[in-house]
Structure 1
Amino acid sequence: MSFSLLGLSATILKTLADINFTVPTPIQNIAIPAIINKKDVLGIAETGSGKTAGYVLPIIMNLQQRLLLKNRHANVLVLVPTRELAEQVKDVFNIFGKNPLFPIKTLAAYGGVSINPQMMGMQGVNVLVATPGRLLELVSSNAVHLSDIETLVLDEADKMLNLGFKDEMTKVINLLPAMRQNILFSATLSKDVQNINQILLKEPVIIKIETEGESLDLIKQVAYIVSNEKKGPFLRYLINHHEMKQVLVFASSTHQVDAIVNKLRKNNVDARAIHSKKSQGSRTESLAQFKSGKLKVLVATDLMARGIDVIALPFVINYELPRSPKDYIHRIGRTGRAGESGNAISLLSTNELDHFEVIQKKMGKQVEILDSEQILKSAL
């Protein structure tokens, strides 16, 4: 199916063509017409399935058809769990909202930075993308009014609930008009997500896209047995041996992320860290440099994973395994996206082998496990 058959405007179709978006993803095929027709939507699909454009495109369509009313307050509210995802969603709205006749103003609001510029930027906002805590701060300061919200989007609802935003989300929802369109997207359909669905959505169009198997087929996975003290040298060997120009490395803690970056820099490998203890300015700059290809190695925690969306990212390395198989899939899902192949490498200490067996069973795939000692010996 083509985007031209989904009811989108000529302006949006031209933008899609300009950035070489030719074929909608399965979730976009169903979500776009449903949202244009003002239906409530529940979408369950993995990261990388096209969920963001699946709601951004039809929301822009609906906004542009009614912008002549010139409301003073935002009409669309998108709640997200992280600052990085807020900026990512804002960027997608900006790409497709460019229309000289009906320009759409989008603002991202989140904590960790001064609230004053966000308060001053509220004038004339059509789409507000926000984390729940900062949104409530803006409401309590009378900087934003939610009385005109016609469409609410909960993006990455499972992540928001996992991060403890349930009470804040409930407070926000209670401030909204009763008559509105509700859109809920999530990577998983957990019990908490089901409960919100039952309270929030009215006769929703339900979309469940099974994409894990398809996307994993595009990822070449390999694991190496490496002692903890040799993981640093072996990581540098992999980066140099494969001549990696762009690689995302995952570690389990902010302390470990910083330690990895320090070691890489001492060995003349261009690397930066991104985690919750970094300032927003540092995080934004690191991510921008990595996306543009100016930064070779970005080292991150799992909390940052869903805000990192890089087209055709060639390599992901697990310096340590995550706690859950789902987090492992989310990590390696940063590569092998949008039809492009990718590589996922895991460095396993001996006490991680049993856990890696569990991960392989959960994702239904066997991964080749090699001995790093033999590889290093042959390389010398």
Structure 2
Amino acid sequence: MLWFDTPQKKTQNILKTIGKGKASESHVHELLQLLEKQPQMVPDVAAYLIAVLKDNNKKSYMLAISALNKVSENDDKLIEDTGDVILGSMQKAQKELGVDGMLNALEILFRIAKYDPEKMKNAFVELFICLGNMNPRVRESSYHLLSMIAIAKPELYRGHSQELRRSLNGLNLDERIYSCKIISALADHDTSIVEDTYEKLKDIALTHVNSDLRSEAAYAMKKFNIKEETDTGRSKESQDFDFGQELLRPDDHKLAPDFGVIADELSTRISDINLKSDAANLLDSMGLGHLKNPGENEPTFDAAKLQSSLRQLMRSGNVERAAILNTYGEVIASAGEAIEKSMLANLVAVLPAGSGPRTRISLAVKDRNCVAVRVNRKAILAVMTKSDASLDIVQLEMNKSIESLDKLLT
């Protein structure tokens, strides 16, 4: 083999091209292929990419961050100390990073925050800028990270209520809803962190034209337990106002014990019934066999990539089992020990058939939780949490996984 054809030399050439800001996605793809065959080079490649981000060549940042996020996806330790470097890149080159670069940067920060949210104490200015970004995917990714910090390390928000108030006045409806949800999470811990957002929440809850935003603002207000003076001088609890807070919130839904008994009984009775086959036979008997579409509710997928995505979800340390199901409750990919079929049947039976993506249901199992989230109309993500896992953190991690799973399930 000629010296210039070795994997090491090819890798070196690609890294130099990235460093000069002249690379393309095809270079990153080729780099990943080389590292699959030479995994021992990954730490050195990651170190080089971090060095590129410390340089002042803004044109190189977008693909350097993309490559760093991908080459380190199996080892979070490679990026655990890069928070300030990533934030610096976001500050210096927001335009050059573009949407894809910002999403990769937020993904790296999310992975760092999972293990040490304290490292995000200097990130708030940039994260709130992202929360107001014109791209909805950037806004959503920023929200996931801000929510994780609010749940895991709420005290870091002290002194940052101004950013929350600004977001409550944001141009985008989802930005304002996200801000209400973050305030709600912080108020669960200590209302003094966000006490100066109350009047703005009240104004939104009473006057805004959008019912979803009004409901979220009212829900956050309830956490403050502040008594309002009525026109007659009589005090009234703020939560008595009818802002739609009694509407079912899928994220907060917990199965009542008696309903769980019904679900158990239902899953037992239908466990031996092949509903899909029976429905197909019924159509045939009616002379309507042409209406059958065997693949209509069957997602197409790459099993290896699905399993890799599930393993990535489990690396956080909060999930001990994970599975992807079709709408019939059949497992199409899994990681870790298998989740009991009866439990999966319960989840599928309870999850509304016509519900949209992100609809969620959870069942308590001793000291653990089994959580299911609809990925799309064809697939469901189910996980079993570890005993000491925060359900809120698990739900955030599942939301992040859904973004990649939805692309793999077509």
TM-score, scaled relative to structure 2 = 0.25
Q: Which has the higher helix share?
A: 2
Q: Which has the higher strand share?
A: 1
State which structure, 1 or 2, has the greater radius of gyration over its C-alpha atoms: 2
TM-score, scaled relative to structure 1 = 0.27
